Amino acid sequence: MEKSIEVIFLPLAERVVGSVEPKARKKLFQGIRKTKERLKGEWFSKMKGSDGVFEFRFDENGKFYRLFAFWDNEGEIETLIAGTHGIVKKTNKTPKDEIRKAERIKREYFEEKNLEDKRSRNKGK
């Protein structure tokens, strides 16, 4: 049986999602729902040349929205997609520094997660 897919928002992503206009937020959540159902499409794709960074992408009223994310497959029950941060822009080109920012957040996430795992293992001793 396949693990379920859950999507979480890290703090920067949470702020972006909370600040976008309702119609755009609805499109984002439609893309998230499709991804959780394991459907594939242009709304969620890997960023070329990145270290495991994906993006939820959609446009609304001439604005291009990007919510960067990565996979965390380490859970036993579920697979997570963690949203790192997002941008709104007027062109369809994604700045490389935003991809690097997502990679940095991903590294920090796994470093913190590994520290927490070590701490909980040490408590059991």
Sheet holding 4-9, edge to edge: 4-9, 78-89, 63-72, 54-60, 44-46
User: Worst-scoring range by mean pLDDT, 49-53, 58-62, 118-122?
Assistant: 118-122
- pLDDT of res. 84: 97
Note whether 5 and 38 are within 8 A (CB).
yes
Residue 26 has pLDDT above 90, yes or no: yes
Looking only at Cα atoms, what is the longest distance across the chain? 57
**Structure-token pair, residue 36:** 């959780």
Q: What's the CATH number of domain 4-123, 3.40.50.720, 3.30.2310.20, 2.40.50.140, 3.40.50.10490? A: 3.30.2310.20
pTM of the model: 0.88
How do residues 57-80 score in pLDDT, each as one tens digit? 999 988 999 999 999 998 788 899
Reply yes or no on whether the pLDDT at 115 is more than 80.
Answer: yes
**Domain spans of the chain, in order of start:** 4-123
